[in-house]
Structure 1
Amino acid sequence: MTWYFVLNHKPLWLTSNDNQRLNVKCAFSCNFSLWIAKDDKLSETDWVVKRVDRNHNYCPDVKIRLCNSTFLAKVLEGKFRLLSELDLAAVQFLFQIFKIKISRNSGRNIKEKVLRKINGDDIEQFNLCHTYCQELIKAHPGSTCFVESVEPNKPTDHGLHPSITN
């Protein structure tokens, strides 16, 4: 649904009744409303339109609230995995498809979110080192294990490493 809203520049508001139903209304004064619900006969991800009221009159120049850096990061994630860098062609793809302008800050936020999703978060990776040490202690009772952070100015270091002593 987000794709539909952003591509057509329709400023709509989503109201969740519960986990099974959504009510969609126009953000402005037109009388457009749409009721959709999950259909148990199809699958858990399929939605069915239950009722539509009136035609939707909208202004295509309105800034769409759903077209944020999180949505654009999901769109560009596949291109980042292939190209490994955000280049001009990827940004032009967004201009052509969504007819939007991206500021420098939005571009930076998009790039950070995509790279965090592809490469993983540093904090999560550091926490995995602690989990690994705990597993080593369980496997080798009586031993000690600690995670030592390495200073970045030493040229031989490659990051964090677990140390085991008996």
Structure 2
Amino acid sequence: MYSALESMYKNQQADVVLAAAMSHWNDIAIESAPLVIAEYAPNATLDWVGGPLSGVYTGISAINATWTRFDNMYEYVVWYALVLPTVQVKGDMAMVKASLQFVVFPYPTASNPHPVELVLNVTEILYYNYNATAMQWQIVNEYWIVHPLSISDVAPDYSPGQYQG
């Protein structure tokens, strides 16, 4: 009987953690740094691998600055999961691993006045701890491993167009 209840609790917690991860990805896509930042523990670390934002960012201030830079690079962002993310829960710790694609539409710049959309293939690994005081799962470490691609590499017959935002 105890094993069944424990299993049910773990499954419930896995669903809660997966919902938190999906909320995180949605908040990234709507480019809301304040919503994204609210998901992190105060001493969290963001390990960004690949692309112009590569680096290790520790603490809310550094992570906020990084997501703000991301927001300022892209006018429009959409995401989807390539396969169902995996979730592991052990006590008050959890891990989510996902293969994601973010389609991003860069802002025009002087050097690139008519940018085309890009695909960011992202291997995402989120580590959560449960904060009993806040009564929520908080990100303590995030690995954001980015492999930028031209959209034609993902959809060979697609002709990129200029985003008319």
Q: Fold match, TM over 0.5?
A: no
TM-score range, shorter chain: under 0.3
Higher strand share: 2
TM-score by length of 1: 0.25
Higher helix share: 1
TM-score by length of 2: 0.25
Q: Which has the higher contact order (CA 8 A, sep 6+)?
A: 2
Structure label with greater radius of gyration? 1
